[in-house]
Structure 1
């Protein structure tokens, strides 16, 4: 595909993402709203409230991005969603470039399709999770490394390392590859050594490897006084909320989550494609996509050892690597010569894989309806919450005390909408209020109740027992507000 056609395709995907953002309004997820709150606190000259109850792990670069977007005011939450959708476009384009340079046009087209059509990646993008911009940086770093760029891969991984720590491992592996892999250190001049690094350049690259973790530790130290706050608080929160954690659960969850994020046919095709690609090209030529798969596995099991939550989002990097190999497994026959003895069998296998893929897609088609329903739910409940907070009776009762929720899940959304501090919005999971506004979630509406009225580690009574002296003052959608002055 020509450069012009690539640019046209990227422009088309960008336009589609913008149209989706305009026509299908949605809002950030819990973690993303906290980053918006922290970014606003930075703009206000305040220290970010990383240590509030049930706060997620902070990601330094995402806090900075949220602060920049926060300049426009309350609309920044919608802009963060747009950034997520554009990051998905960048991810798809990065996967295309990586797979094209490795295997050619048709395997690359399938790899990009596998990533772009992933329900998990779509959901992460439209809810502004940090994972999608992180993956976009990783994909372009991988593509740049395959293309032989000297500095760009490490710069991109340094940025990615300020979004997720998996990039630290990738950057370390890249440094080892540059230092001890094919080419090694350049100790002589001449064309044969022109792509290798001098010892001085390796020192600079090593500095770039440690830059992201050092900045992360420094941000934790400056804000909380504990350089390991992100690690310790994440582990403690996982334990308090009863999430899956621990090395004993890691093997089973690894398989389940990879199949969930990448989808079973793509994951299986990815394994087959990795074997085929290594046999044909050798492991050195496949080092970059293999690193994506293996590094993701190592960090997932490392999270289990560290006692962190074991979430599907932690396996997005290997899912991308498997998508690249899956493209080769299905369409790799297009790279064979016409007289290659493997061509007929591979072509037949590709036809079978295509039939299985279409059948699986048809079976999973309701998932996109689920995505649509999820976006409508988020949009509707967000609107209900905003209207409830704007009710005159609620505004009046706010002057008497804090707003409290049954769980922590709507705390950052409300702080963002009202632009207030942590003492003005909290959860009854911490303490029962004696004044202010107590918001409940209608228990007869199952999805809102499960999403906002209940949470692991939080007593169910917080959404059942109205504090003494509070009376109903307003209701909107599934939310009911009680007030007392």
Structure 2
């Protein structure tokens, strides 16, 4: 007899059984992808991410705060009032990395960048898989989708600096694949992990959980949905209450957008849509519309290509949700859109692939049985070359911006390197902070807090006239120095570095 934990739920009404039958996909693959394939892809992604540390690297503002919070959790002294919004999954990683000391920031960069690499692999794989057909058709679909992701939404910049959207995209695409494989519980767990990165995932996961309960009567599924449903508010809200005394601190912080946020536009919803439109290449948007039209036609005729329709609708729903939240006063940061533009890239890649397949099929009809396959392959390759060449008109300028991006990323890494070297020259971060309150520029607060072993709230933006220390730097190569001089009486320059100057009313540590 089955155990209580695995026994099916008691019989349900006939109408519910009928609904369950209608909701269960009829085209589940007979042979699901071996889970070891995804383990291998994840291992490859981590290895590539680790190799990227050979490039000058640093986290950006939000990741530095997560890294500080991870250390504070291990010290049972969490303070979240000075920093970005809380993200449970990121801080789980940084808490695990905190015992490794100075290596913790780089360990987080490996995780964040591994998510980005996995995203690129999965975007290629999903577009390939949805396209089907000939090898040239699947190849062009995957290449276009991956290229569209790499050059859209400042993806490379955000992921290189350790933001979490790469992980969000990776878990979502991975979940879609496992759903297509018929591994619905695994898909739900991957959606749960995505929900620990962005609250916008919650309604989608909730609907999927309800669908899963309707089609799967196993008690394990019921408990999985219940446990994950409980853990989401627990992991989002309780640590915030510990760190700030306010369950809703993350939501309050998200409603204090930066000055350039679309939240300040006359009509924020429409402003988000306008800013999203140019993030995607025109040919990719056109190909996505083409693929969606074909998928709808196929669905009406033969109940096929439903996955392409659902992915397109998910993309539009995600963008609309971000726009609605911006209308409600949230920040509407462009990187929040990355998941939506990624899904459009997948559908656009499928559109390119189907165009190649159609051209190949048309030409193959004139070749007969003897030459048809050769003509199909040759036409497919030729169509790939033509489409890639035509797309370069739009993609070329995007790729050429990578030179400027390289300089910007190297400068951000200089800020971290110069701060570390400067503090070493005065006796270390703890000695530097022992002089009194430490001030720095707004965008450097969490990085300075990490290096001087203080809470982010302990780092101020104006030097204390009564005495203390200051880390003056420029957040970009063209930004002004912050804090601005002249400094209060008693502050003197201790260390001038390329991008960072240390000031203090106390002398350096003897022998430093």
- The 5-angstrom pairing of residues 438-477 of structure 1 reads 438-441=470-473, 447-448=476-477, 450=479, 453=481, 462-477=483-498
Per the TM alignment, residue 337 of structure 1 is displaced from its structure 2 partner at its CA by 9.2
Residue 221 (str. 1) matches residue 241 (str. 2): yes
Residues 5 and 67 of structure 1: CA distance in aligned 2, closer, same or farther (over 3 Å): closer
> Higher mean Cα deviation, 92-101 or 394-403?
394-403
Alignment of 1:175-190 (within 5 A): 175-178=209-212, 185=214
Asked if the contact 1:94–1:136 (Cα under 8 Å) also holds between the matched residues in 2, the reply is yes
Q: Aligned partners of 1:64 and 1:393: how far apart in 2?
A: 31
Asked whether 1:50 is paired with 2:69, we answer: no
Correspondence 1:243 to 2:243: no
Query: What is the correspondence of 1:48-447 to structure 2 with a 5 Å cutoff?
Result: 48-52=78-82, 55-104=83-132, 105-106=138-139, 107-116=141-150, 118=152, 120-178=154-212, 185=214, 196-198=215-217, 203-204=222-223, 206-207=225-226, 208-209=228-229, 211-235=231-255, 237-238=256-257, 241=259, 243-245=261-263, 248-260=267-279, 262-281=280-299, 284-336=306-358, 339=361, 353-392=387-426, 398-405=433-440, 407-422=441-456, 425-428=459-462, 432-441=464-473, 447=476
RMSD: 3.4
Superposition deviation, residue 334 in structure 1: 4.5
Q: Which runs of 5+ in 1 are unaligned?
A: 180-184, 186-195, 455-461
**Whole-Å separation in 1 of the counterparts to 2:153 and 2:260:** 26
> How far apart are residue 139 of structure 1 and its match?
1.0
Distance 1:266 1:339, change over 3 A: closer
Tell me if structure 2 keeps the 8 A contact 1:74–1:416: no
CA distance in 1, matches of 2:337, 2:364: 33
SS state of the match for residue 163, structure 1?
A: coil
Q: Which runs of 5+ in 2 are unaligned?
A: 1-32, 133-137, 367-378, 507-512
- Does the 8 A contact of 2:185 with 2:221 survive in 1? no
Q: 1:10 to 1:215 in 2, by over 3 A?
A: closer
For residues 219 and 11 of structure 1, the distance between their equivalents in structure 2, rounded to whole angstroms, comes to: 30
TM-score relative to the length of structure 2: 0.77
Contact 1:170 1:291 (8 Å CA) reproduced:
no
What secondary structure, in the 3-state scheme, does the structure 2 residue paired with 1:310 have?
A: coil
**CA distance 1:56–1:422, shift in 2 (3 Å):** closer
- Measured in 2, the distance between the counterparts of 1:337 and 1:355 equals 16
Using the alignment, how far apart are the partners of 1:8 and 1:202 within structure 2? Answer: 27
Q: Distance in 2 between matches of 1:242 and 1:252?
A: 12
SS in 1 for 2:495: strand
Q: Is the 8 A contact 1:277 1:328 kept in 2?
A: no
Matched pairs, number: 447
Residue 115 of structure 1: how far off its partner (Å) = 2.5
The SS at the match of 2:442 is: coil
Question: Aligned with 2:127: secondary structure?
Answer: helix
Higher RCO structure, 1 or 2 (CA under 8 Å, sep 6+):
2
Give the secondary structure class of the aligned counterpart of 1:365: helix
Structure 2 Cα separation of the partners of residues 336 and 263 of structure 1? 22
SS of residue matched to 1:404: strand
CA distance in 2, matches of 1:469, 1:44: 34
- The CA distance in 2 between the partners of 1:343 and 1:259, in whole Å, is 39
Moved more, 302-311 or 208-217: 208-217
Q: 1:94 to 1:138 in 2, by over 3 A?
A: same
Instruction: Classify 1:338/1:364 alpha carbon distance in 2 versus 1 (closer, same or farther; 3 Å).
Output: closer
Name which of structure 1's ranges 105-114 and 165-174 shifts more when overlaid on structure 2: 105-114
Residues 352 and 173 of structure 1: CA distance in aligned 2, closer, same or farther (over 3 Å) = farther
Deviation at 1:376, TM superposition (A): 1.3
Partner of 1:377, secondary structure, is helix
In structure 2, C-alpha distance between the alignment counterparts of 1:134 and 1:152, rounded to whole Å: 16
